[in-house]
Amino acid sequence: MAKRKTPSEARVDLLEKSPTVQAAAKQARKPVKEVAKGIEARERRNAAILSEPSEESIPVETPQPKPEPPSLPSHISVNQAAKRLGRSHSATYGLILKGALKSIRIGDSIRVVESSVNDIVNSANS
């Protein structure tokens, strides 16, 4: 009864017949079987490395989305506020000076809190 070859031995036999392996053995001045065994051993090592769990295959807890920060009031220019209120920009500045419109200064410009404009528009419509 003939001895059955292991998959490794069968792979070495196939590699020995390869013209590439034969040329490599000739260039290295080594027996073809020795070169084929070296290639097969390297393929086994690479397969073992690839079968090890990598960082990508390790389950990682997915980060939960961060809660939204509280929304800041949006600000509009004095001219935009004047258009919404149906007044001139001078009259709108007067409302800001009286404190009827909430505003902030950013550099050289004044920005009006949009919700304060909406409050005045809504109270006028009521």
Q: What is the pLDDT of residues 5-59, one digit of tens each?
A: 887 788 788 888 888 888 888 888 888 888 888 888 888 888 877 777 666 666 6
Residue type, 68: E
Helices (H) and strands (E) counted in the chain, each on its own, are: 6, 3
CB 117 within 8 A of CB 126: no
Return the pLDDT at 73.
Answer: 74
Q: What is the pLDDT of residues 50-92, one digit of tens each?
A: 777 666 666 667 788 888 877 777 899 999 999 999 999 899 9
Q: pTM for the whole thing?
A: 0.44
Give the integer Cα–Cα distance in Å for 120 and 85. Answer: 8
